[in-house]
Amino acid sequence: MPSNAKRIVFTGGSGKAGRHVIPELIERGYEVLNVDLVDFPDPSTNVFTLKTDLTDSGQVFNALTSHFNFGGYDNARPPSPPDAVIHFGAYARNLLVPDNTTFTGNTSSTYNVIEAACKLGVPKIIIASSETVYEVCFGQGDLDYTEFPLHEDIDVNPMDTYAISKLCGERVARGFARRFDADIYCLRIGNVVEPHEYAQDFPKYISEPMVRKRNAWSYIDARDLGQICDLAVRKDGLGFQVFNATNDTITASFPTRQFLEQWCPNTPIMRELGEWEAPLSNRKIREVLGFNEEHNWRKYYNPINEVS
């Protein structure tokens, strides 16, 4: 690793998204410390994991000023804060633990990470928010979306604990960005798809469209999420920002407007849609950060029987 490599503390890197994002970041030249409660699942990456309870603010402050591995002791000076913090560590959905634990764990860990990073002068903080804030994913009953496409400026009012915890994290980020004049970018991450899941899951997604309604028929390839994190680290000076982190296209076998008019007719379409545009729009992240997807789902699964 070159001595001038940017250093990233990544929380929750052993999870479904992080296990793919961290290798993408390393490939792009970063030095990464994984902060998690379990070891990084791929030993071949040589990613060091610092076991840290993110709900303990003291542990968080310590983790952000830690060596990234034992090689750090060879340096003449103790470690300084990292160049960026990427915070993915959280209970990843409802029904893993009781709701109150989901809420307190997610909100306190996000607060602790943002507070520590800001007070230590970390210049870039990236926070994992969620598609669930758009209300339908874990909403009670068969709900309709407010409008299509779903974009970052829509007023959102989710009813479930997980989504509310993510929305609270966005609000903490907004306040601290103002207080410290900091760059804090919140990624509303879509349904994360790992490489093996295309062949495993997409046949059902295409043949049974309603199973994808709660995800707004959108997704993010875990490796493309790594590119997004890289772009966010590189783009400075935006202050507080919210970005939908999704791939470009709808998970359907016929064009977006026709699909939505058939399968979600009660939701108004508020602008012209690209032919295959994802209903959870990534227009902002493409235009502002320069995201260019590399892993369109059709590269890995080509539907034979179209649904119409």
Tell me the CATH number at 170: 3.40.50.720
What is the rounded CA–CA span in Å between residue 172 and residue 74?
Answer: 37
Q: 157-205, pLDDT tens digit by residue?
A: 999 999 999 999 999 999 999 999 999 999 999 999 999 999 999 999 9
Tell me the percentage of the chain whose pLDDT exceeds 90: 95
Examine the pLDDT at 41 and tell me if it is beyond 70.
yes
| pLDDT at residue 304 in the model | 60
Domain that holds residue 188: 7-196+218-248+279-295
Per the CB < 8 A criterion, the answer to whether 145 and 267 are in contact is yes
For residue 50, what pLDDT is reported?
A: 98
For 209-242, the pLDDT digits (tens) are: 999 999 999 999 999 999 999 999 999 999 999 9
Contact yes or no for 128/192 (Cβ under 8 A): no
Q: How does pLDDT run across 54-79, given as a tens digit for each residue?
A: 999 999 999 999 999 999 999 989 99
Domain assignment present for 263 = no
35 pLDDT more than 60? yes
Residue 16 lies in a domain: yes
- Determine which helix (DSSP H) or strand (DSSP E) holds 112, and give its type and residue range: helix 99-119
Residue 147 lies in a domain: yes
Q: Is 163 inside any structural domain? A: yes
- Burial of 161-192, coded b for 16+ CB within 10 Å and e otherwise, reads bbbbbbbbbbebbbebbeebebbbbbbbbbbb
What's the confidence (pLDDT) of residue 183?
Answer: 98
Residue 306 pLDDT > 50: no
Domain assignment present for residue 304? The answer is no
User: Is 206 a residue whose pLDDT tops 50?
Assistant: yes
Q: How far apart are CA 146 and CA 34, in angstroms?
A: 37
Q: Is 260 left (phi over 0), alpha (psi -120 to 50) or beta?
A: alpha
Does residue 244 surpass a pLDDT of 60?
Answer: yes
pLDDT of 308 strictly over 70 = no
Domain-embedded: residue 1: no
Domain count, the chain: 1
Asked whether residue 83 is domain-assigned, the answer is: yes
Distance, C-alpha 29 to centroid of its chain = 20
Beta strands in 46-106 (DSSP E): 49-51, 84-87
Amino acid 3: pLDDT: 56
The pLDDT of residue 4: 74
Q: What is the pLDDT of residue 242?
A: 98
133 falls within a domain: yes
